[in-house]
Chains A and B, each alone.
Chain A
Amino acid sequence: MPESDRSHRPLPANRAVFGTTDTDSVHDEPGGGDLHPHPVPLWMLGGVFATLVVLTVLTVAATYVDLGRLNVWVALAIAAVKGTLVAEIFMHLHWDRPFHRIALLAAVAFVALFIGIAMLDRVTYLPDLIPGHAPGVQQ
């Protein structure tokens, strides 16, 4: 019953509503619509930088250890940790509106989708589907 769904909240009657935002419920309070900056403490910024440097050294060191196919995943995991630190702390996502994080994660998810399906096509490719009728790999 979409109709009843939509009318569960009464419409504000005769309200002058020029541009006031729904998302910003504080706009009625004096000064409520003002900025409220959240400066990240300096120790935290410094700590993140130090961690990033340590992780960079670690990722270089990891290439000297033979983990077989795991090497690339270790490198990517370390990069992901570094990336998360940059995004959450340097880019303020930790204190920000959740939608910004959703947007970034959606971007990453769509890149993964793109790479994932392209890879799926690649690994299941049959160069010799009809024997003798497909272009063979020229050596």
Chain B
Amino acid sequence: MASVAANPRYEGKHHLAHHFDTRRQQFDSHKLAMWLFLVTEVLMFGGLFCAYTIYRASHPEIFLFAHTLLDKNLGAVNTIVLLFSSFTMAWAVRAAMLGERRRLSALLAITLLCGFGFLGIKAVEYNHKWQHGFLWGQHFAYAELQDYLAGHGTDAATGPAPDPAADAHAAAVMAELDLAAAVTVAHGHDPALIPRNVHIFFGIYFVMTGLHGIHVLAGMIVIGWLLRRSLRGDFGTRNYTAVDLGGLYWHLVDLIWIFLFPLLYLIH
């Protein structure tokens, strides 16, 4: 095995299924199937983006207010973690194509660790929401929200201090919606001026990030399986299909997060 591992052009274990004529045809078929599967994923998340758009367009004040309860910094860090994992995954595909067995295993392991890191940070965020009762729909604790806001004042630990410009913008939005009572203070630090139906934001937030989290988990299972096969020596210059396709899935999960992050955390 050692001599095989030292070979920089390790071919991997490969075979051609009986109903295909060529390796190329086999690879192309599998790759097209993966892309079509990614299409279904895009449309599935598309439904959630539709719900998001409808509610944000109808009730911008909910989104403006509620996003301040999210931690922008943790969101940004998580974005970087996921982007880095995409980088290592893309590199892993390169390593597989070049038959670099050890590098492939190492890169897959790093990608997997990044997945754990992402879910870990997500768990910290969820835990914070859970503690304060910032939950979806009927489970949202409005009483605790008032306590929370009273306790934090303008120093809300979960978000940056509101700048006057943002307040003015929010006020303008609310004025436009004829919510006269809410005009004076946009970020709702006066407990009396919390917009109606804040729980809708958290309903959408938890469904979107939750479904995304499930996809991260699924991607990690795939990468774990790839890592096991990589350690076994399955992959090389003539067999990198599984790494390539697993990579495509992982990148798509990253791609969706690239849109979720500004839409949920960076509302202005």
Contact = CB atoms under 8 A, between A and B. Distances in A.
A and B touch in the complex (CB under 8 A): yes
Interface of A: 18-21, 23-24, 26-27, 32-40, 42, 45-46, 48-49, 52-53, 56, 59-60, 62-64, 66-68, 71-72, 75-76, 78-79, 82-83, 86-87, 89-92, 96-97, 99-100, 103-104, 106-108, 110-111, 114-115, 118-119, 122-123
Contact of B50 (A83, A107, A115): A115
B46 A115 contact: yes
B94 A60 contact: no
Nearest to B29: A21
Nearest to A56: B79
Contact of B254 (A32, A40, A86): A86
A39 B98 contact: yes
Contacts of A42: 91, 94
B211 interface: no
Interface of B: 19-25, 27-28, 31-32, 35-36, 38-39, 42-43, 46-47, 49-50, 53-54, 57-58, 72, 76, 79-80, 83-84, 86-87, 89-91, 93-94, 97-98, 163, 165-166, 168-169, 237-238, 240, 244, 247-248, 251-252, 254-255, 258-259, 261-263, 266-268
Contacts, number: 174
B57 A123 contact: yes
B39 A86 contact: no
Contact of A97 (B19, B28, B80, B87): B28
B90 A107 contact: no
Most buried by A among B21, B49, B237: B21
Given A24-B22, A34-B23, A39 B94 contact: yes
A60 B39 CA distance: 28
B195 to A, nearest CB: 13
Given A19-B19, A27-B22, A56-B76, A103 B262 contact: no
B46 A45 contact: no
A99 B32 contact: yes
Contacts of B79: 56
A66 B162 CA distance: 12
B49 to A, nearest CB: 6
B50 A111 contact: yes
Contacts of B24: 24, 26-27, 32-36
Nearest to B94: A39
Contacts of A119: 53-54, 57
A33 to B, nearest CB: 2
Nearest to A21: B25
A107 B39 contact: yes
Contacts of A56: 76, 79-80, 83, 261
A106 B43 CA distance: 10
